[in-house]
Structure 1
Amino acid sequence: MSGLNHRKSYYLENDDLKDVNKLEDKLKALVKYDIRSITELEKWLAQERVLNNEIQETMIGHKIDFYRDTANPEKRDIHMYDQSIIRPILLKYQAELDKKFCDCPFAGELDASKYGFVRQARRTKVELFRKENIQLAVREKEIGAKYSEIMGGLSIDWEGEKKSYSFVKAQLDHQDRTIRERAWRALAEARSRVKAEIDEMMNELVKLRHQTAVNAGFDNYCDYMFRVKNRAYHIQQCYNFQSSVEKHIIPSWKRLSDGFRKELGVDKYRPWDSSVKVLERKPFSTVHELMEGIQIMLGKTDPYFEEQFKFMRENGLLDLECRIGKYSGCFMDPLPASKKAFVFANFSPSFAAVIALIHEMGHAVNVCMQFANDPYFQEEMLRDETAELYSHGMELLMLDKLDTFYGDGREFRNAQREALRRSLGLLIGPLSRELFEYWIYTNPNHTSEERDRKFLEISKRFKNSPVDTSGLESEVAASWIDTTHYFLYPFYAIEYSISELGALQLLDIYRSSSERAVALYKRSAGANLNQSIAEIYRQTGVEFDFSEPVMKRTAEFLEGLFEELK
C-alpha cells in the first residue's frame, strides 16, 4: 500500500504490518507456543508483549500522522488500512491468545504483583469476546476516523480569512463580549454544516454498539461497557454521584457564576460568558513561547518533569500548532515499543492551551514513569480513574506557577480562579456526559431529535444551569457533536470527575507542603498498577471516594479558594 514504507523519526515502524502473512505467522507461533512451566509462560508473555508493543506503536504512529493532517489522503489510507485490515487480524488472534493464557494451568501461579490486573483484564476479554463483534469493532473505528476527518476539516471565515475551528474556539476567551458572541455563533454555524452527517454516524454507532452488547449477552451497551472497563464501582454509585453533584456542586457553580456575571457587568449569563473572561491578554503568541513557559513551570515543580518535557521537545514528540486540517483537541499517546510519549494539541493562543498542555504532560509523566519503573507495563493496565488523577493533579500542582504566563498580580489571581473554575466544571461536565450516554444506550432506538432534546435537558441541569440559553436552544442542543469522546472514547467521562476529587485533595496537601505533594505524586505515578485503584490513590495521599460527604467538603474547599483569590 502506498505510503507504508515512509518511516517517521518519532515512532518505530513495524514492517510486519505491510505483510499480512508474515504478521499472521508471528501471531500463530504465539498461539501454538508450548507452555510447560511457569518460566515458559513468563517467556511467552514477554514475547507477546514485545510483538504487541511494536504493532501498537506503529498503529498509534499512523493514527497520529493522520490526526496531524486529516486532509492528507495518503495518511488517511494508511490509518484506515490499519483499522480495516490489521485490526481484525489482531482482534481474532488476541482472542486466541487471551484464551490460551486463561486456560494455562500456570496462569494462577503468576506473581499477582506483576500480573494481577493483566490476569483480570484477560479473563474479562475472554468472557466478553464474540467473533461476530470483530467487524462491528472495525466499523466503529472507521466511523471514528471519519468523524475526526470531518471535525479536523472544519474551517470558518473570520475577519476576511479562513481560520481553523480551533482558532475560532480560542476567541471564546476574548475580553470583548461582541467578539465572544460572534465566535460562539460562528462555531455553532460550522457545526450545523456537518450536523446531519454526524447524526447519521452517531445513529449507526448506537446501533452497532447496542448489537455488540447484545451479542455478548447484555441488555444494553451501558452495562456492557461497565464490564469491559472493569470498573471498581457499580452504576448505582454513579447515579448517587450525580445526585450529590446536583445537591452540593451545582449550587456552588451557580453562586460563583453569579459573581462572574457581576464582574462582567452583564444582566444575563449567556453561553459566550461561560468563564471569567477577565484575563487581559493572550498568554503567548507562538508555540515556542508556550513551550518555553511550560518548561519553566515544570522545572519549578520538579526537575524530572522538566527533563521529560525537554526530551519530548528535542525528539519531535510534541505537535502543538494550530492549523486547518489538523484534528481538533488534544491527547497524549504512549509509544510502547520505544518507551516514549507523544503529546498532540490543536489550540490557538489561549488560557485553555496552557492548561491543556499541562494536563497532557501529566499523562506523559505518568506513562514515562511506568515505562521506567515497570518492565511489565502495558497501556491496557492504565485505568482511566488513575490516569486522569495524574493529569488533573499536574494541573493543580502548577496552579501557583501560572504567573509564568500571567505576570501581573491581579491577572495571576484571575488565571488561578479560571483554573479552579475548570476544576469545579470537571465535577459537572464529564458527569453530565456520562448521564447522556446512559440515556443514549439504554434507549438505542431514539431519534436524532430526541437525542438533541435530551442533551439540552441534561445541559440545563448541569453545566448550563446558570446560563440563559433562550433563543439558542437548537444550537446548544446540537453542540454535543463537538465532544470527541462520544465517537472515539465511549463511557470515558465519569472518570474525569472522580479523579478531579482526588486531584483537589492533592492540592490541599500541596498547600501545606509542596514538597510532600510532589513526592506523593511521583511515587504513585510510577506505582505498581496491579494494585486496586483505591490503593493507588492512597499512595498519592488521597482517597478513592466520591460519596456525598466528600462532595460537600469539596464544594466548601473550592468556594474557600475562590474567596482567597478575590
Structure 2
Amino acid sequence: MSELSSIKYYSDAINLKDLEALEARLQQMLQQEIKSVADLEEWLEGERKLREEIEEAMYGHQIDFYRDTTDAVMRDIFLHDQTAVQPMLIKYLAEFDKKLLDSSFHEQLDDKKYGLMLKVRRTKAELFREENIPLTVREQELVTKYNEIMGSLSIEWDGETKPYSFVEGQLDSPDQVIRERAWRALAAARLRVKPQMDELMNELVSLRHKMAVNAGFDNYRDYMFTMKNREYSIQDCYDFHDSVEKHVIPAWDRLAGIMQTSLGIASYRPWDKGPCLMQGAPFQTVTELMDGVDQMLGMTDPYFQERFRHMRENALLDLEVRQGKAPGGFLEFLPATQNAFIFCNFSPSFFALIALIHEMGHAVNAYLQYEAGEGIQEHQLRAEVAELYSHGLELLLLDKLHIFYTDDKECRNAQREELSRAFTMLIGPVAGDLFQHWLYTNPDHTPEERDEKYLELEKRFTYHPVDITGLESEVASRWTGVTHYFGYPFYNIEYSMSMVGALQLLQIYREDPARATSLYKQGAGADPNQSIADIYRDTGIEFDFTDRCLVKTSKFVMGLINELQ
C-alpha cells in the first residue's frame, strides 16, 4: 500500500455493520414531524447530513477494496455495504423522497435553491420499484467481480510478472517493437478473460433491461436518460454522433497522417496511436510525479497547489501501480469531511501524468463547491459539468508541461499529444455512447454480435485512420477493458460534450491566462442548482455541441497542432 496508507483518510462516524442501529437512525428521520417550511428545510438538512455520514463510510470502504481487490477483509466489508446496507438505504431514500413530495410545504421551497433537487427526486420517486432493489444488489456484485478480474490480471514481461497497468505504460515507448509487444500482450490478457467478461456483460444487460421494464420503459437506454434527468434528448445525442463523424473525424485523419510522417512508418498501426514520439516516461517514481504536478498547479493558481498539498498530506492520493489494485482512475467525494480522494493505477507514462491532472480538476471542483456552502449532493453530480473542470484543468496546464519535458522538442511533442487527446475525447466517448445505445436497445444480442458492433464502431470512429489488418478480433474485444461499460452505464458522451467546452476555455486562456483561470474557478464554484448551460456560462463558455461549434473547435485544435510542428 501507499506510504500514507496508515493515515485514516475518511470518516467512519457511523457503524454500517450495526444494521439495527443504522435502521433506527433512518427510521427516526422518516418519522420526524414537519409542520412548516422551516421544519421541512431543517429536515432536509438533517437528511443530507445523515446521508453524508453513510455515503462517506461506504465510499471509503469502496476505495479500500479498490486499492487491494485481493484483500478478503476489505472485500467482505465492501460487499456487506453493497448487499446489506445498500438495499436498506435504497428503500429508505425512496421513503424520504415520498415524505418530501407528500408534504404540502415542498411547493413553498425556494425554487432557485431547491428546484433541481425537487425535479431529480420526483423522477426517482416515479421510477422507484421495490422489485428493482435485489437487481441493483446483483448488479453491484457483478461490477465487483469485474474489478476483481481486472485487478488480478497480470502479464509476463521481460521474465517478470507485471500488473496489467504496468504493461499499458509501455505503449508510450519510442521503440515500436516494445509498443507492439505491449499492445499484443494487453490484447492477449483481455482475451484470456473474455469468456468471463461475456458472462458478466450478458447478465448486466439482462438485469438492466429488467429494471427498465419494471419501471415501465421499453429499454434501459430510455430508462437511464430519464433517470439522469438529461438536459438534452436522445436525438441530440445521435445528432452529436453524426457531427463528430462529419467534422472531427477528418481532422483526426489528418492528425494521424502527421503522426505517421513523424514516426517514419509505412502503416499507422494501433500501437502507434499513443504518445510514442517522446523519449520515455516523464517520471519514474510517484514522488517525482507529485512534485512536478505540485509545481505545475502552483504556476497556474495558488489555490490549486494548496488543495493538492492538502490532499497529499492527508493520504487522499493513491497513485502507485500494484498487483491486485483495481484498474483505471477516479475521484471519490468524501462529503462528511468535505474532502476528495484521487485513485489512479497507471504506470509511469504520459497518460499517468494527465490522469492525475484530470482527477485534480475534479478535486478542485469539489473543494470549491464545499467552500461555497452547498456540499455535494447526488442531484448536483452531472457529468457534463464535472468533466468540464477535469478536462479544463488539463488544458490550463498545457503550457506547463515543460516541468516534466525539459527539452523544447519533447515539450512540443507532449503538448501535441495532449491536443491529440482532446480529439480522442471527442471521438472515443461518442463511439462508446453509440455502443451502449445499441447494447441496451438490443438486449437479446449475442456475444458475437456485441463484438461485431464494437468493431464496426471502432473502425468508424476511434480507429478510423488506423490499419487494424489481422487484429480485428483483438480490437473487437477491447470493450472488456473499459470499466464504464460495466460500472458506469451511459457515462460516456459527457466526456465529449465537456471537452468541447474545455477547448473553448483554452481559447480564452490563449488570449488571457488570468481571465481563463478566474472563469474556471468561478464556474467550478458556481451554484450547482443551475442548468448545465448556466454553469457553462458562468465559466465564460457555451454548452454547445452543434455542427457550427464542432467545425470551429476542430479548426482551433488543428491550428494549435500545426503551430507545434
Per the shorter chain, which TM-score range? over 0.9
Residue in 1 that maps onto 2:412: 413
State the alpha-carbon separation in 2 of the partners of residues 360 and 380 from structure 1: 20
Paired residues of 1:334 and 1:379 also in contact (CA < 8 A): no
SS at match of 1:16: coil
SS at match of 1:17: coil
State the alpha-carbon separation in 2 of the partners of residues 192 and 247 from structure 1: 33
1:552 aligns with 2:554: no
State the alpha-carbon separation in 2 of the partners of residues 376 and 36 from structure 1: 26
SS at match of 2:130: coil
State the alpha-carbon separation in 1 of the partners of residues 370 and 6 from structure 2: 23
Unaligned runs of 5+ in 2: none
Paired residues of 1:260 and 1:276 also in contact (CA < 8 A): no
Instruction: State the one-letter code of the partner of 1:455.
Output: Y
Residue in 2 that maps onto 1:497: 496
Instruction: State the one-letter code of the partner of 1:298.
Output: L
SS at match of 1:330: strand
User: Over residues 305-326 of structure 1, what are the superposed CA-to-partner deviations in whole Å (9 max), with x where a residue is unaligned?
Assistant: 0000000000000000011110
Q: CA deviation at 1:178?
A: 0.5
Residue in 2 that maps onto 1:517: 516
Q: CA deviation at 1:252?
A: 0.4
Q: CA deviation at 1:382?
A: 1.8
State the alpha-carbon separation in 2 of the partners of residues 376 and 338 from structure 1: 10
Alignment of 1:45-444 (within 5 A): 45-444=44-443
SS at match of 1:18: coil
Q: CA deviation at 1:103?
A: 1.3
Q: CA deviation at 1:376?
A: 4.9
User: Over residues 245-285 of structure 1, what are the superposed CA-to-partner deviations in whole Å (9 max), with x where a residue is unaligned?
Assistant: 11110000001101101111111111101134110121001
Instruction: State the one-letter code of the partner of 2:511.
Output: S
Paired residues of 2:338 and 2:375 also in contact (CA < 8 A): no
State the alpha-carbon separation in 2 of the partners of residues 529 and 375 from structure 1: 8
Q: CA deviation at 1:112?
A: 2.2
Q: CA deviation at 1:377?
A: 3.5
State the alpha-carbon separation in 2 of the partners of residues 116 and 283 from structure 1: 46
Q: CA deviation at 1:114?
A: 2.0
Instruction: State the one-letter code of the partner of 1:324.
Output: Q
Would the alpha carbon gap of residues 466 and 18 (structure 1) be closer, same or farther in structure 2, given more than 3 Å must change?
Answer: same
In the alignment of these two chains, the number of paired residues is 561
When structure 1 is superposed on structure 2, of 285-294 and 25-34 the one drifting more is 25-34
State the alpha-carbon separation in 1 of the partners of residues 487 and 122 from structure 2: 24
State the alpha-carbon separation in 2 of the partners of residues 183 and 112 from structure 1: 54
Q: CA deviation at 1:110?
A: 1.2
Q: CA RMSD in A?
A: 1.1
Paired residues of 2:7 and 2:314 also in contact (CA < 8 A): no
Instruction: State the one-letter code of the partner of 1:434.
Output: D
State the alpha-carbon separation in 2 of the partners of residues 279 and 110 from structure 1: 56
When structure 1 is superposed on structure 2, of 504-513 and 549-558 the one drifting more is 549-558
Residue in 2 that maps onto 1:38: 37
Paired residues of 1:7 and 1:13 also in contact (CA < 8 A): no
State the alpha-carbon separation in 1 of the partners of residues 356 and 61 from structure 2: 22
State the alpha-carbon separation in 2 of the partners of residues 195 and 225 from structure 1: 26
Instruction: State the one-letter code of the partner of 2:392.
Output: G
Instruction: State the one-letter code of the partner of 2:84.
Output: I
State the alpha-carbon separation in 1 of the partners of residues 315 and 45 from structure 2: 29
SS at match of 1:163: strand
State the alpha-carbon separation in 1 of the partners of residues 553 and 194 from structure 2: 37
SS at match of 2:16: helix
State the alpha-carbon separation in 2 of the partners of residues 267 and 484 from structure 1: 33
Instruction: State the one-letter code of the partner of 2:522.
Output: R
Paired residues of 1:114 and 1:376 also in contact (CA < 8 A): no
Would the alpha carbon gap of residues 143 and 8 (structure 1) be closer, same or farther in structure 2, given more than 3 Å must change?
Answer: farther
Runs of 4+ in 1 over 2 A off after TM superposition: 374-377
Q: CA deviation at 1:111?
A: 1.6
Q: CA deviation at 1:8?
A: 6.3
Would the alpha carbon gap of residues 333 and 274 (structure 1) be closer, same or farther in structure 2, given more than 3 Å must change?
Answer: same
SS at match of 1:15: coil
TM-score relative to the length of structure 2: 0.98
Q: CA deviation at 1:109?
A: 1.2
Paired residues of 2:275 and 2:414 also in contact (CA < 8 A): no
State the alpha-carbon separation in 2 of the partners of residues 275 and 325 from structure 1: 25
Instruction: State the one-letter code of the partner of 1:200.
Output: E
1:476 aligns with 2:475: yes
